[in-house]
Amino acid sequence: MKTKKISNSNSIQRATRMWSPLFLGPVVAAFCIGFVWPFIQGIWLSLCRFKLVSDAKFIGFDNYIKAFQDASFTHAFWYTALFAVTSLVIINVLAFIVAYILTQSIRGSNLFRTVFFMPNLIGGIVLGYIWSMIFDGILSRWSTSILMDSKFGFWGLIILMCWQQVGYMMIIYIAGLQNVPGEMLEAARIDGATRMETLFKVTIPNVMPSITICVFLSLTNGFKLFDQNLALTAGQPFIIQPDGTTIRTTEMLALNIFNTFNGTGSASQGIAQAKAVIFFILVAGMGLAQLAYTRNKEVQQ
């Protein structure tokens, strides 16, 4: 019997080695064509001056120097960082609270889960225009607009992001909460732990894998935000610097790269490409650092 099992295992391994290239080949080819080659070409173009890819001329690191010297890029970076951190905290706290409440066997919990998740199904551009009309309708009572005050634009983007993302993160937290070992909760109850002690010493440590995922998604989504920023504020209001440059006070990094690429300068495309490479390194580095940190906090079950 043992010999037969070994023989079957060897047959499966031989079949896997034989047929895996057939199934993996198209996926690897699509990945290389759709990601690896454009990524390498993007790095090359960031070192060039070009209007079209075919007429790119190598100029070294000039584009990177100009990118770091661009005051609008620096402003967009700090504005995006503040937005990403603020939205990360608010979204995850709200999502966890909602998920925790909806896993307490309350009546109609499935309906509430659906309602909270539905905004995530609406496209970012549509959400941006919907909330722009809502905010302008509210702020018109004070004879102002969301486009006329940067603080309104910032908190408008926060509210929009929370409304869209809380339901999605809620689903991930619900999955984590439902996988908390019942015997651990029962043991805490027997030991006389209060509800808050059970939450912070048993539930949250066991939900750390879900927290890792949600924090990663919230952080990267905050930095990559583009369509909602474009539709809601388009970077307005604008400030003209003494040297003639324009600072868009509610412009985030992705929108700054977009606006730079569509600029009128002869080197705008190359500078925008350099900003895009810096943007990728920034988001990838922060995302990997966050994953490494939060995974160390996960409880091994």
Which pLDDT tens digit goes with each residue over 109-155? 888 888 888 888 888 888 888 888 888 777 777 766 666 677 788 89
What is the tens place of the pLDDT at every residue in 257-277?
Answer: 998 888 766 678 888 999 999
Q: Report the distance separating Cα 254 and Cα 234, nearest Å.
A: 11
Q: How much of the chain exceeds pLDDT 90, in percent?
A: 20
Average pLDDT over residues 68-94: 92
pLDDT number for residue 88: 93
- Same structural domain, 34 and 117: no
Q: Report the distance separating Cα 161 and Cα 225, nearest Å.
A: 9
pLDDT number for residue 137: 79
pLDDT number for residue 9: 62
Q: Where are the beta strands (DSSP E) in the chain?
A: 48-49, 57-58, 238-240, 246-248
Ranges 7-21, 36-50, 159-173, 240-254: which has the least confidence: 7-21
Domain encompassing residue 283: 63-295
What is the tens place of the pLDDT at every residue in 185-205?
Answer: 888 888 888 888 888 888 888
Mean pLDDT taken over the chain: 84
pLDDT number for residue 116: 87
Q: Is the pLDDT of residue 230 over 80?
A: yes
Q: Report the distance separating Cα 272 and Cα 258, nearest Å.
A: 7
Q: Is the pLDDT of residue 91 over 70?
A: yes
Tally of structural domains, the chain: 2
In a domain, 133, yes or no: yes
pLDDT number for residue 130: 86
Q: Report the distance separating Cα 107 and Cα 98, nearest Å.
A: 14
Q: Is the pLDDT of residue 83 over 90?
A: yes
In a domain, 54, yes or no: no
Q: Report the distance separating Cα 59 and Cα 61, nearest Å.
A: 7
The amino acid present at 43, given as its one-letter code, is I
Structure tokens at 184: 């651990």
- Same structural domain, 19 and 111: no
Average pLDDT over residues 59-64: 90
- Same structural domain, 210 and 247: yes
Average pLDDT over residues 54-73: 88
In a domain, 188, yes or no: yes
pLDDT number for residue 143: 64
pLDDT number for residue 80: 93
- Same structural domain, 98 and 39: no
In a domain, 128, yes or no: yes
Structure tokens at 177: 């909460």
| Distances, alpha carbon 191 to alpha carbons 41, 188, 200, 257, in Å | 61, 5, 15, 56
Average pLDDT over residues 5-25: 71
- Same structural domain, 209 and 102: yes
Q: Are 278 and 64 in contact (CB under 8 A)?
A: yes
Say what the pTM is: 0.83
In a domain, 53, yes or no: no
Average pLDDT over residues 20-28: 81
Average pLDDT over residues 223-230: 89
CATH of the domain at 271: 1.10.3720.10
- Same structural domain, 85 and 23: no
